[in-house]
Structure 1
Amino acid sequence: MNNKLKNKRIVITGASSGIGERIAWHVAQGGGIPILIARRKEKLEELVANLPVQGFWYTCDLADPEHIRTTFHSIFQDHGQIDVLVNNAGFGVFESVSDTDMNAFHSMFDVNVLGLIQCVKEVLPRMMEQNHGHIVNIASLAGKMSTPKSAGYASTKHAVIGFTNALRLEMSSYHIFVTGVNLGPVRTSFFDTADPGGEYKASVERYMLDPNHVASRIVSHLFTSKREINMPSWMEAGAKLYQLMPGVMEKVFRSQFSKK
């Protein structure tokens, strides 16, 4: 058991499946108190009922600012404080810019960026007052190295990385840790929306990360000063090379970049 988590109130958005669900399990196994947020009531009820400790759930549409406000108000009323916020909720649509409807761009930014920022804004005053806390923002390696048909999704994750880096510097004097998580493809239901035809998923199946392994890494770094978690390491190395020589990388890996 990770004693750092014992009795800590840990809010996880997008918690009804995938990485969020597995984070909830690892938090519970570490003695923490999972407080889960997602849209699907039935999935949340089922997950909480099967956790090894008592957990709590709240339905919330993270594209709705008022719903976010009322949800966090309820959490503070019920639990008094929040020790960790894991911003895991997000989705993508993999289409070319010319084919992507503006409503899809708005929706991705509403959830992936503005919803995430508002969740942070809801917890930040209390964390600053208690001089303690940890905020984990799950972004993507796509935010460091964009590829064709990911312009909308990658731009939201690029925004999350920038927001996270600035927040980390601002919170250092308040003993509030801020960690960014940048991932390659993960074996979750994310691709049901991002890639409904399944072509991209099939092409990267062998590279996909296990959500349980990702969740374990994230939870192991709670209440530490870990700046970033980047997975897989070989893809992070590729992102670093891309920053140094983007033209060469785009030429050499053009076919790989175009698999969406």
Structure 2
Amino acid sequence: MKFAVIGGTGLIGSQVVQDLNAAGHQAVPHSLSTGVDILTGQGVDEALAGADVVVNLTNSPTFDEASLAFFQTSMDNLLAAAAKAGAGHFVILSIVGVDQVPDLDYYRAKVLQEDLLKAGPVPYSIVRATQFMEFVDAVLSWTADEKTVRLPRTPIQPIAAAEVAAAVADVAAGTPLNGTLDVGGPDTYPLDELGRLTLRIKGDERSVTTDDTAGMFAAVHGDVLTTGPGARIAPTHYTDWLK
């Protein structure tokens, strides 16, 4: 099968392309760097021409209210081009629990993206992943100074990006779900404990202060960012990945 992977040069996209090609498919990466602009529509029809499956792994450049317009415009352009190309499957990557965090603009924008896909003209699949292990350092940096990192107790279930990519590639190569698959790592940690574990293993002498008002994840209530029944659980443990 032929796959058009939009955002195919990024962290997840490049690995999805690699996984699909290794499985004997023809996966072509597309991005701004290859001349495809999903906001203006430049190069989109050409990128999707002849594709059996469209995989959209692009992301908004901001996490604020502007992300809503990004996903509205990009999905409108991509869905129209996918239908024109006769694609039989459209796949996006989203976030576990995304519809349970209405106070975050970016999460509301991702829900909009999901809703546009569901209402669109092409059979679809949504892969929702928990937080990437690769992003833990960035999360710590949001509320850190030279001596202390402030973190809430939000439950987090980190998953390796390579295993997210493998799940996306697997779903993309299959029959459209017309629904959602959740994927997550094997262990769940309160975010403050995850921070302490990360700093300890890295030999970082900063301390972690539990602060349920600190950072983006302060807007998350309960364990909504962790998987429930029916999810696919990846094998890599965070401590093994970190070491």
- The two structures have a TM-score, normalised by structure 2, of 0.63
**Partner of 1:123: helix, strand, or coil?**
helix
Alignment CA distance shift 1:157-1:224 (3 Å) = same
The yes-or-no answer on 1:215 pairing with 2:165 is yes
TM alignment of 1:36-185, pairs within 5 A: 36-39=29-32, 41=33, 58-62=34-38, 64-65=39-40, 68=41, 70-75=42-47, 80-91=49-60, 93=62, 104-106=64-66, 108-127=67-86, 133-146=88-101, 151-167=104-120, 171=122, 177-185=123-131
Alpha-carbon separation, structure 1, partners of 2:79 and 2:141: 31
**Partner of 1:144: helix, strand, or coil?**
helix
Alignment CA distance shift 1:189-1:92 (3 Å) = farther
Task: Quote the sequence identity (%).
Answer: 11
Alpha-carbon separation, structure 1, partners of 2:150 and 2:164: 18
Alignment CA distance shift 1:233-1:196 (3 Å) = closer
Question: 2:6–2:29: 8 Å Cα contact kept in structure 1?
Answer: yes
Alignment CA distance shift 1:36-1:201 (3 Å) = farther
User: Which residue matches 2:184?
Assistant: 232
User: Which residue matches 1:197?
Assistant: 142
Alpha-carbon separation, structure 2, partners of 1:115 and 1:33: 23
In the alignment, residue 44 of structure 2 is paired with which amino acid? Answer: F
> How far has the Cα of 1:92 moved from its partner?
6.4
Alignment CA distance shift 1:138-1:206 (3 Å) = closer
Alpha-carbon separation, structure 2, partners of 1:91 and 1:196: 20
Alignment CA distance shift 1:147-1:93 (3 Å) = farther
TM alignment of 1:238-253, pairs within 5 A: none
User: Which residue matches 1:54?
Assistant: none
Report Cα offsets for 1:62-111 as digits up to 9, x if no partner: 3x32xx2x3123336xxx511111111013655xxxxxxxxx422x1233
Unaligned runs of 5+ in 1: 1-7, 42-57, 95-103, 172-176, 236-253
Alignment CA distance shift 1:27-1:190 (3 Å) = farther
In the alignment, residue 84 of structure 2 is paired with which amino acid? Answer: P
In the alignment, residue 114 of structure 1 is paired with which amino acid? Answer: T
> How far has the Cα of 1:60 moved from its partner?
2.8
> How far has the Cα of 1:18 moved from its partner?
1.2
Alpha-carbon separation, structure 2, partners of 1:205 and 1:117: 34
Question: 2:36–2:44: 8 Å Cα contact kept in structure 1?
Answer: no
**Partner of 1:160: helix, strand, or coil?**
helix
> How far has the Cα of 1:142 moved from its partner?
4.8
In the alignment, residue 83 of structure 1 is paired with which amino acid? Answer: D
Moved over 6 A (4+): 200-206
Alpha-carbon separation, structure 1, partners of 2:83 and 2:115: 17
Aligned residues: 187
> How far has the Cα of 1:191 moved from its partner?
8.1
Instruction: Please identify which structure carries the higher strand content.
Output: 2
- The two structures have a TM-score, normalised by structure 1, of 0.59
Question: 1:92–1:190: 8 Å Cα contact kept in structure 2?
Answer: no
Question: 1:12–1:24: 8 Å Cα contact kept in structure 2?
Answer: yes
Question: 1:93–1:152: 8 Å Cα contact kept in structure 2?
Answer: no
Question: 1:91–1:190: 8 Å Cα contact kept in structure 2?
Answer: no
Question: 1:19–1:188: 8 Å Cα contact kept in structure 2?
Answer: no
Unaligned runs of 5+ in 2: 188-210, 221-243
Report Cα offsets for 1:27-85 as digits up to 9, x if no partner: 1101111221223x3xxxxxxxxxxxxxxxx23333x32xx2x3123336xxx511111
